[in-house]
Amino acid sequence: MTVPQPANHARRRNLTIAAVAVLIVLVAAGGYGLWYLFLRPSGPAAVSSETLALPSAAASSPLPSGGLAGTWNVDTSIGSSADSTDSFVGYRVQEQLASIGANTAVGRTPKVSGTLTISGTQLTAATITADLTALASDDQRRDGQLVSHGIETATYPTATFKLTAPVDLGADPTDGHEVDVTATGELTLHGQTKTVQIALKARLSGSIIEVVGSLPIAFSDYGIQAPTSFAVLSVSDQGTMELQLFFTHA
């Protein structure tokens, strides 16, 4: 039996150590992507009537004596951003980690203002403005990119929706009753204005009107170039705008 020479044994050992070292470097290089995909907490759920969790104290106030008629304002004092029970406008978009997989990025701004006007059983006017400079997701690097890339919040700090056609609410809504409607209006985003139709769910809870809705957005329709400079990330060329709003009578 041939006994390996000590020098050959040492060389093999060094090669093994070198291979392990290279593997460690490769894992370290890809570690951010793996952590980003698998170890980060899940993002907020998409908006729906089930996501509304109105504080019971707020909902217990009675409806004004004049009923629903009149002007209603977005009330940002209701709820909390910590558990998504506040008013917000936001986005959902798919990100792709190179050679690893997909992730849904969710960003929201609680800085929303606006009014709606009800006459009889119709929504006759509505204007909603969102401050996009306050958009926040679970990654500050992503948020920082949007200042000068993508929706370019430094140049286009707000998004606005203005109703252009009355919305029939059906019978006079009762407390707790949910209504499905489609709101037609003009959405101004990234300096571009387009006519859109947003599917909404609305519900009267005591003295508060709750509204949730979402709208698919093709970035190219608004002259938006999807950011691609995140580490090991590419971004879909389309996403979803979503909103959750609480209104109180003016």
Of residues 98 and 89, which shows the higher confidence score?
A: 89
Do 94 and 62 fall within a single domain? yes
| Cβ 85 vs Cβ 50: under 8 Å | no
| Cβ 190 vs Cβ 156: under 8 Å | yes
pLDDT for position 190: 97
Per the structure, the count of domains in the chain is 2
Do 16 and 102 fall within a single domain? no
| Cβ 114 vs Cβ 73: under 8 Å | yes
pLDDT for position 14: 59
Residue 151 identity (one-letter amino acid): I
> Mean pLDDT over residues 133-142, rounded?
90
| Cβ 139 vs Cβ 107: under 8 Å | no
Do 107 and 20 fall within a single domain? no
Do 9 and 81 fall within a single domain? no
pLDDT value at 229 more than 70? no
Do 94 and 200 fall within a single domain? yes
The 10s digit of each residue's pLDDT in 43-89 is 677 876 665 555 544 555 777 777 889 999 999 999 888 888 899 99
Domain with residue 123: its CATH number is: 2.40.128.110
| Cβ 135 vs Cβ 146: under 8 Å | yes
88's CB contacts (< 8 A; 6+ apart) are 81, 108, 109, 110, 112, 243, 244
Which of 9-18, 28-37, 41-50 has the lowest average pLDDT?
28-37
Do 34 and 50 fall within a single domain? no
Give the bridge partners for 94, in sequence order.
104
pLDDT for position 145: 85
Do 27 and 133 fall within a single domain? no
pLDDT value at 192 more than 60? yes
Domain of residue 30: give its range.
Answer: 1-39
> Mean pLDDT over residues 19-46, rounded?
46
The mean of the pLDDT values for the chain is 80
Angstrom CA distances, 171 to 34, 59, 125, 174, 180, stand at: 52, 21, 18, 9, 12
Do 65 and 5 fall within a single domain? no
| Cβ 47 vs Cβ 213: under 8 Å | yes
Query: Helix, strand or coil for residue 101?
Result: strand
pLDDT value at 92 more than 60? yes
Query: Helix, strand or coil for residue 243?
Result: strand
Do 207 and 138 fall within a single domain? yes
Which of 75-84, 110-119, 146-155, 177-186 has the lowest average pLDDT?
75-84
Do 83 and 174 fall within a single domain? yes
Do 120 and 216 fall within a single domain? yes
Do 69 and 133 fall within a single domain? yes
